[in-house]
Amino acid sequence: MKNILITGGLGFIGSNTCIYLLEKNFKIFIIDSFLNSSEDILKKIKYLNLQLNNTNKNNLIFFEGDIRDKDTLRNVFKYALKVDAPIDIVIHLAGLKSVSESERNKMLYWDINYKGSKNLIEIMEENNCFSLIFSSSATIYGVNNTILCEDSIIKPINNYGKTKLAVEKLLEEKYISNPKLWNIINLRYFNPIGGHSSGLLGEDSYKNPNNLFPVLCMVANNDRKYLEIYGQDWETPDRTPIRDYIHIEDIAKGHLCAINYLSQRLSGFISINLGTGKGTSVLELIKIFEKVNNKKIDFIFSQRRNGDVAKYVTS
Ligand code: UFG
């Protein structure tokens, strides 16, 4: 299984996963709409790819397109066949991921995250491709103060989590309808942070980020005056929310593990948490960041953000 299609391959997780898989000699097809990415990221992946000791320099093929457009998806599969590299596995990362935006703009999230995924699954079927790694999220567990394992109660409280859960359900139905055919892993990411060791691929903050880590970096760079901590009244020891922050290069490696797992079996359906098992509160993260970077981070407390929960940590 050597030919991989990565939807949303220029995003934070996508770009880091692409370069990791290129290092491991996979042939990568990327489809990305530039909605939350840029040509610059593509250039950086190409640049890093050239630095690799890889003899096959035709190992990266890019298509600009939106997963809501079936014809674009069809063309990618068609092209892969034409160049004698039929797609073996799809890593489906394309989607929107901001909890707060998903509350403000609900239909957009259903359109891109759900409808886009449904399109992709249909085009995969048309092309006899049945192996899929889906980017799901810890958000689907909802309010749950226990340590989360894959069979913990699932009850998303924000729209983003609801769209991810709906796709998981759709995939489960697909699998049940033909258990000998589909080979599916839902990777439930916890909170990815950090960047590629080259310093070139991180979580881009040029489009008004909502996530904690890029905002923290902006404050450190004096691009924002202070960090707003959403809520000071959470049911946690220091009253700020706890998350399971996982380095982006470990997330990238997680995808290779998932590919190897899919390659070892003919079919199946499984969900796997991708985190570290260690929880860190917002205040703790600020302290660590200040110590490592020798930089003071100014912050204020504000209201809780819609759709947030106190704690997400995997077992
Ligand atoms: N936070 C702040 N101030 C900010 C940004 C965030 O206090 O400016 C807090 C949030 O309230 C939350 C924590 O920092 O308690 C982490 O927030 P993020 O926005 O970085 O991450 P979330 O946990 O809300 O969601 C993220 C991703 C989702 C993913 C989820 C999995 O956005 O895609 O982690 O746990 F699904």
Q: Residue 289: its pLDDT value, please?
A: 96
**Ligand 1 centroid distance, CA of 99 (Å):** 8
Q: DSSP labels for the chain?
A: --EEEEETTTSHHHHHHHHHHHHTT-EEEEEE-STT--HHHHHHHHHHHHHS--S-TT-EEEEE--TT-HHHHHHHHHHHHHTT----EEEE--S---HHHHHHSHHHHIIIIIIHHHHHHHHHHHTT--EEEEEEEGGGG-S--SPB-TTS-----SHHHHHHHHHHHHHHHHHHH-TTT-EEEEEEE-EEE---TTSS-S---TT---SHHHHHHHHHTTSSS-EEEE-S--SSTTSS-EE-EEEHHHHHHHHHHHHHHHHTSSSEEEEEEES-S--EEHHHHHHHHHHHHT----EEEEPPPTT--SEE-B-
pLDDT band at residue 58, thresholds of 50, 70 and 90? confident
CA-215 nearest atom, ligand 1: 8
160 is an active site residue: yes
Cβ < 6 A, ligand 1 pocket: 97, 99, 137-139, 189-191, 210-212, 215, 227-230, 241, 243, 282, 305, 308, 312
The active-site residue, picked from 160, 189, 230, 245, is 160
Q: Which of 112, 212, 288 to mutate to test the pocket of ligand 1 (most atoms within 8 A of CB)?
A: 212
Q: What is the mean pLDDT of residues 26-30?
A: 97
Residue 205 has pLDDT above 60, yes or no: no
Q: What is the pTM of this model?
A: 0.95
Choosing from 137, 193, 211 the residue with most ligand 1 atoms within 8 A of its CB, the one to mutate for a pocket test is 211
How high is the pLDDT of residue 287? 98
Q: pLDDT tens-digit profile of 134-192?
A: 999 999 998 877 899 999 999 999 999 999 999 999 999 999 999 999 999 999 999 99
